């Protein structure tokens, strides 16, 4: 619901007051759902992106998406599609990300997006709802998407934070929060693996979702279902060009693997490999399939986690 024209660039040092001279500017079509669609397309899956779009930034975004070969359905809105800026600081290796809130999307425009989504998703196996909600869109919007999926018999994979996650009460097949997003959801610190697994099961026990995948960055990932809890180790990537879009790539990898009828455990391992491959590309450039396959072959099998019986 909140696509972005992603701009990435590099400078020697980020500092206040004076001008920061940059070089090597790159533009990519972005936003969570579009990133997922681009990676799924690169991995060979038939995919269609659905999103609202407005203004000259929206036109540039759709031009680039069309050039990439990704199928899409855009819904015009009056306000301007946002931009997001990533600046890589060469002197320190730090990365700075500036994320704008996005356009105001009216109720009529929201309904138009849902109607287009209904038309496209009628023949889908999975629907991925990903990213932030822009101004004007109520926090329970993704619950409306979940209701649509239930009506159509489509499996919903949700990757959102804040109200976009907390306002979903039922209907998801899989939810992928980060550790921070999961901590915000349960409202307490979750420092250990047992804490994180217990927190993930709160979503399952409440009927929000059937499965939870917690992305842990350099610590790998966790999978929790009613039947199994597993820990997936991170894959060592010696040279990291950019961490932008790694979580979206993970979701894409999981979804593509599930569409191939892989087990959920193998799908998460493939997702970890896809997210790791994303670290090897600049900005939000899509990862390379050969990197995904190479890293997937290197990925260690998951380890079963014993869940503590005491959960809040």
pLDDT tens column, 208-222: 999 999 999 889 999
pLDDT at 110: 98
Map residue 96 onto helix, strand or coil: strand
The secondary structure of the chain in percent helix, strand, coil, rounded to multiples of 5, reads: 40, 25, 40
The pLDDT confidence band at residue 309, using thresholds 50, 70 and 90, is: low
Count Cβ atoms below 10 Å from residue 140 Cβ, excluding itself: 16
The pLDDT confidence band at residue 310, using thresholds 50, 70 and 90, is: very low
pLDDT at 308: 60
pLDDT at 162: 73
pLDDT tens column, 133-187: 999 999 999 999 999 999 999 999 999 877 789 999 999 999 999 999 999 999 9
Structure token pair of residue 205: 């026990």
Structure token pair of residue 173: 């097949």
Q: Where are the beta strands (DSSP E) in 2-66?
A: 4-11, 23-30, 48-53
pLDDT at 149: 98
Closest CA to 33 of 72, 84, 79, 76: 72
Are 98 and 84 spatial neighbours (Cβ–Cβ below 8 Å)?
A: yes
Predicted TM-score of the model (pTM): 0.93
Count Cβ atoms below 10 Å from residue 98 Cβ, excluding itself: 10
**What DSSP letter does each residue of 69-89 carry, written as one string?**
T-EEEEEE-SSPPEEEEEEEE
pLDDT at 243: 75
> What is the pLDDT averaged over residues 64-90?
96
**Average pLDDT score, the chain:** 94
The count of C-alpha atoms lying within 13 angstroms of the C-alpha of 222, restricted to the half-sphere facing its C-beta, is: 24
Hey, where are the domains in the chain?
32-49+105-304
Per-residue 3-state assignment (H helix, E strand, C coil) for 113-153: HHHHHHHHHCCCCEEEEECCCCCCCCCCHHHHHHHHHHHHC
Are 36 and 248 spatial neighbours (Cβ–Cβ below 8 Å)?
A: yes
d(CA 120, CA 286): 24
Helices (H) and strands (E) in the chain, counts: 10, 13
Fold of 32-49+105-304: 3.40.1190
Q: Does the active-site annotation cover 248?
A: yes
The pLDDT confidence band at residue 312, using thresholds 50, 70 and 90, is: very low
Residue 266 has pLDDT above 80, yes or no: yes
pLDDT tens column, 290-300: 999 999 999 99
H or E stretch at 81: none
**Which is the catalytic residue, given 159, 248, 266, 291?**
248
């Amino acid at each position: 619901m909140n696509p972005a024209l992603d701009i990435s660039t590099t400078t020697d040092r980020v500092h206040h007051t004076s001008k920061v001279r940059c070089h090597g500017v790159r533009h990519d079509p972005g936003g969570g759902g579009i990133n997922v669609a681009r990676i799924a397309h690169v991995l060979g899956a038939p995919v269609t992106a659905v999103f609202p779009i407005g203004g000259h930034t929206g036109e540039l975004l759709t031009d680039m998406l069309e050039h990439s070969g990704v199928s899409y359905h855009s819904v015009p809105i009056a306000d301007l599609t946002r931009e997001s800026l990533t600046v890589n600081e060469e002197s320190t290796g730090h990365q700075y990300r500036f994320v704008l809130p996005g356009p105001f999307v009216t109720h009529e425009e929201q309904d138009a997006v849902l109607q287009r989504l209904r038309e496209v998703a009628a023949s889908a196996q999975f629907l991925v709802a990903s990213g932030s909600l822009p101004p004007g869109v109520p926090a329970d919007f993704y619950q409306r998407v979940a209701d649509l999926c239930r009506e159509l018999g489509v499996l919903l994979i949700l990757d959102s934070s804040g109200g976009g996650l907390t306002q979903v009460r039922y209907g998801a097949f899989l939810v992928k929060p980060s550790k921070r997003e999961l901590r915000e959801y349960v409202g307490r610190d979750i420092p250990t693996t047992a804490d994180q697994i217990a927190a993930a099961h709160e979503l399952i026990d409440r009927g929000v979702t059937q499965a939870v995948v917690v992305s842990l960055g350099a610590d790998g990932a966790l999978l929790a279902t009613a039947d199994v809890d597993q820990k997936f180790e991170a894959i060592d990537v010696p040279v990291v060009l950019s961490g932008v879009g790694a979580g979206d790539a993970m979701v894409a990898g999981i979804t593509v693997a599930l569409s191939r009828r892989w087990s959920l455990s193998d799908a998460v391992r493939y997702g970890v490999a896809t997210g790791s491959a994303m670290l090897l590309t600049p900005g939000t450039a899509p990862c390379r399939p050969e990197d995904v396959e190479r890293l997937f072959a290197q990925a260690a099998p998951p380890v079963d986690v014993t869940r503590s019986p005491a959960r809040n």
